[in-house]
Structure 1
């Protein structure tokens, strides 16, 4: 009976996505819709908002969203597995404080940055250990470590700020390529972007990430090391968050315990807006990058139009809710199309 059921399921299964031409599978996707929306919003903003179309605006926009772009890369992989990391902004603050305290204590900035990166990886390892070994929910774990890491950052530095950093590094964080308006730090992001695209979309490790998000049990039976994969992703999130913290410190020239407070919500909003399912198993890097840029373009244009930060947060939140609702509606609609009348379709050849 088991063999008959398996054979029937195999015959009844259809692959509608691959029935379409390649251009449709590439262009008619949620991710490409976000990319198109970014272009439309940017064009409208350039035409209607004074000052938005200037090249220098693009420079500051990229510098503003750079921490979000960096952290969104590992966050995408984590959320595809069905987990989440809310502690990333606290790791940014902790790495910023460590860099400042060690530099002020006489340690060379380069060595202080390395220590901060190691500390970020350790923070990610703590999250990964509690989630994969202890078996606690990632939401509860990272809410706790969010407070823990932020408390360590504030405890180390208090309410003061360290602003004495080498001019070479602070200038480099804000430098532009030649006479253009392209920030130098963009090339660091592009290197990491290529690494994460290859890792997620072109390796067995990446296929395992999608398998975990769809079904942990099925992934485990398929030979995927579920716990090890999640642990590696949390460590990557901690490491990249520490890198974002170092950039944040150099860009603003200040190490404070409250640096990047609330940044985790912007990262998660951008990832979900970019097409990553909150239930796991679905998402793509290019959609997430478009989601980050969409939020950045909207925020920049609204600020130039003298819109308050509260209204900007309301608009961003509304976009996030609309994105989740639209995604759920499209999934429901797709299921209805596959099974008219609400009942699964069974091919006539399986009746026997």
Structure 2
């Protein structure tokens, strides 16, 4: 091959993932593996766990995981950018307390709910400002605000609980869609899931999130406003956590400062199990939703089989560790394979030039 030919040829740029057939790109993914595992767990529980096929099981399962489903949507976007929000459980608790105190003071429930969501939004603004404008690590910031927001919630209400809410709204939080065992809360979740899925997968904003997660410096040089993008993600997270807090309060007819303690760990576990990389730049919304349902279904089946909560937590932890380890292992194998292909092409090119 002559030097002139080499210089006049345009380099061909390809993405490694798109060199595979379409069916492999769709089916051979971590997200589809989680969906397949969910199907296996459901099928196994239907065969071997007593009462798992009861409509009440479906109702209680969706009610229990609904706050996690809601919060996992914005959390997915945050982790895709290589950040994290550990304060969401405390925001749910604070929103619950605000809802209870306002209703107790005579505010109509809709107004109390809106103000509780605004409280969550303000919490998100605080997190976002400290992370993006002050430049502090999100892990450190949200560990601090986890304690701060929880302390405010407990300080406002003390050890007491508020359990007098309008019956119409508590019934609505517990009601099912007519003729089905599916709770009404699934409807706002579906709306939010569509919004966040479109935002992540089908908009320039979503593509910018992946770019930030892969390399924030390169993303900034390409014209993406990294700071403002991350800031709005934390605002979204706080707002959705505030809404989840209102639902949590009405579902259990109980506003307490310690509501939703530990929920942030359940949310993050589900997001990571659903295929989102803790190192950013990778993840899909359908995998996250499947991850939440997998953890919830597994816990529900094990409880019906009289397994203790401690064992359930151990199993969930093992699943999460295996998920993270497998992701790192697959990334290492993929890197080695790409390097080997590059070396092979390099040797072929050298031999071609010599000829």
**Residue in structure 2 matched with residue 169 of structure 1 by the alignment:** 169
Partner of 1:213: 213
Paired residue for 2:235? 235
For residues 169 and 315 of structure 1, what CA distance do their matches in structure 2 show? 36
Structure 2: unaligned runs, 5 residues or longer: 1-6
Q: Distance in 2 between matches of 1:332 and 1:291?
A: 23
User: CA separation in 1, counterparts of 2:251 and 2:17?
Assistant: 44
Q: Which residue is 2:92 aligned to?
A: 92
- Helix, strand or coil at the partner of 2:223: coil
Q: Is the contact between residue 100 and residue 255 of structure 1 (CA under 8 Å) also seen in structure 2?
A: yes
Task: Check if 1:153 corresponds to 2:165.
Answer: no
Q: Contact (CA 8 Å) 1:12, 1:345: kept in 2 or not?
A: no
Give the aligned partner of residue 188 of structure 1: 188
Partners of 1:210 and 1:305 in 2: CA distance: 41
Aligned equivalent of 1:334: 334
Query: Which protein is bigger by CA-based radius of gyration?
Result: 2
**CA–CA distance in 2 between the matches of 1:164 and 1:104?**
8
- Quote how far apart the aligned CAs of 1:346 are: 3.1
Q: Deviations over 1:174-212 (max 9, x none)?
A: 101112111111011000000001100011100000000
Q: Secondary structure at the match of 2:282?
A: coil
Q: Distance in 2 between matches of 1:205 and 1:15?
A: 21
Q: CA deviation at 1:11?
A: 4.1
The answer on whether the counterparts of 1:12 and 1:347 sit within 8 Å (CA) in structure 2 is no
Q: Specify the alignment match of 2:3 in structure 1.
A: none
| Distance apart, 1:89 and its partner CA | 0.3
| Inter-partner Cα distance in structure 1 for 2:174 and 2:16 | 47
The alpha-carbon distance between structure 1 residues 112 and 336, as it changes in their structure 2 partners (threshold 3 A), is same
Which residue of the partner structure matches residue 226 of structure 1?
226
Assess, with a 3 A threshold, how the Cα gap between structure 1 residues 344 and 318 changes in structure 2: closer, same or farther.
farther
Match of 2:325 in 1: 325
Q: CA RMSD in A?
A: 1.7
- C-alpha separation in 2, matches of 1:341 and 1:132: 39
Deviations 1:106-136 (A, max 9, x none): 1111111111111100000000000000000
Q: Equivalent residue for 1:4?
A: none
1:204 counterpart = 2:204 = yes
* Structure 2 residue aligned with 1:3: none
CA distance in 1, matches of 2:231, 2:344: 37
Structure 1, 177-186 or 150-159: larger mean CA deviation:
177-186
Corresponding residue of 1:125: 125
Deviation at 1:21, TM superposition (A): 2.3
Report how far residue 167 of structure 1 moved: 0.7
TM-fit CA distance, 1:335: 1.3
Match of 1:246 in 2: 246
1:71 maps to 2:71: yes
Where do 1:293-308 residues align within 5 Å?
Answer: 293-308=293-308
How many residues in Structure 1 have an aligned counterpart in Structure 2?
Answer: 344
* Structure 1 gap ranges (5+): 1-6
Tell me what 1:137 maps to.
Answer: 137
Give the whole-Å Cα distance in 2 for the aligned partners of 1:222 and 1:161: 51
Residues 345 and 258 (structure 1), Cα distance of their counterparts in 2 relative to 1, 3 Å cut: farther
CA distance in 1, matches of 2:138, 2:24: 36
Match in the other structure for 2:4: none
Using the size of structure 1 for normalisation, the TM-score is 0.94
- Report 1:274-293 matches (<5 A): 274-293=274-293
